[in-house]
Structure 1
Amino acid sequence: MLPWAYSLRLPHDPRAAGIARTTLRAVLARHDLGEFTDPATLVTSEMVSNAYRHTTGPAEVRIRAVEEGRLRVSVWDTNPDIPSPFDKPPGFFDRSAALTEAAANTEATYGRGLLIVRICADNWGGYAFADELFGRSGKLLWFELAPRPGDVFEIAA
């Protein structure tokens, strides 16, 4: 398995989430990781949309393979505030609790997007950057998807 990573810099533009989705689909298809396409696209789209909605600056998406066949997607933006659930690691029952919350709030018109992270992702986290640390400020949010039991694949070079 050869490690790989792709980065995509996005301007503050309402079309950024669509461009991120298209890029992510192409990367996953090229690396034969189609089983990750739906959940990765959904969560990435939500994160890039939030970056657009809650900042006035650019964003950046990084897609990479990590050990044990996992996929990690990171989104950097200029807002330093770490939203829930990225402020703490996932709990054992987080996915089922998120499903219960979503079912209880079917009429909600906003605020459900980060439930998507709790439902789809296997792991997540976030880091705030101090003013201009490494030439950047803001935050980096990330999530990981792991292969499901029985999935057999390898990362293509």
Structure 2
Amino acid sequence: MATVSPSWAYTLQLPHDPRAPGIARATLRTVLAAHDLSELTPTAELLASELLTNAHLHTRGPYALRLFAAEPDRLRIAVWDTDPTVPPGFAEKGAPVLVPPEDAEHGRGLHLVRACADAWGVSVLRELGASKGGKLLWAECGGQDLS
């Protein structure tokens, strides 16, 4: 008899501190191990690392890592921050994206997310009541056999 795993979600609130992305990656590894999804760790950690670093480098306030069971064996990684500006690397799907020069030291992170994620997107959040506004960048990864 097949069992159905309940869906789950975790949110880790992070201060604007240079240690925060590392703490978030360690939390991600722990969550994946607890849900028997360790095979997703290399891709999930790369996606989370790039999204977290983007939030840390380009915003001044706190940010948060959100992990969701999108489907069985599938993970959605989202990073919320207080700045509503959508970065060029997450511009409209299908829109041309400028790739940084080969010798550039920055600017490749969100291109890596787009290349390595099964799906990706952004939601701009309006300040309504309890919401703090900002944006939510997300990326999904999962096992090869999703049937």
TM norm. shorter chain > 0.5: yes
Q: How many residues align?
A: 142
Tell me which residue corresponds to 2:121.
Answer: 125
Instruction: Give the TM-score, by structure 2 length.
Output: 0.85
Tell me which residue corresponds to 2:85.
Answer: 81
Check whether the contact 2:90–2:110 (CA below 8 A) recurs between aligned residues: no
Distance 1:137 1:14 in 2: 23
Tell me which residue corresponds to 2:53.
Answer: 49
Q: Specify which of 63, 66, 71 is matched with residue 67 of structure 2.
A: 63
Distance 2:128 2:114 in 1: 30
Look up the equivalent residue of 1:140 and give its one-letter code.
L
**Structure with greater contact order relative to length (CA < 8 Å, sep ≥ 6):** 1
Report sequence identity in percent: 49
Deviates more, 1:68-77 or 1:11-20: 68-77
Instruction: Give the TM-score, by structure 1 length.
Output: 0.80
- Residues 56 and 132 of structure 1, relative CA distance in 2, 3 Å threshold: farther
Deviations 1:25-63 (A, max 9, x none): 000011110111011111111111111111110001111
Distance 2:127 2:92 in 1: 22
Return 5+ residue gaps in structure 2 as ranges. none
Choose between structure 1 and 2: higher helix proportion.
1
Return 5+ residue gaps in structure 1 as ranges. 92-97, 153-157
- Aligned-residue Cα RMSD (Å) equals 2.4
Tell me which residue corresponds to 1:115.
Answer: 111
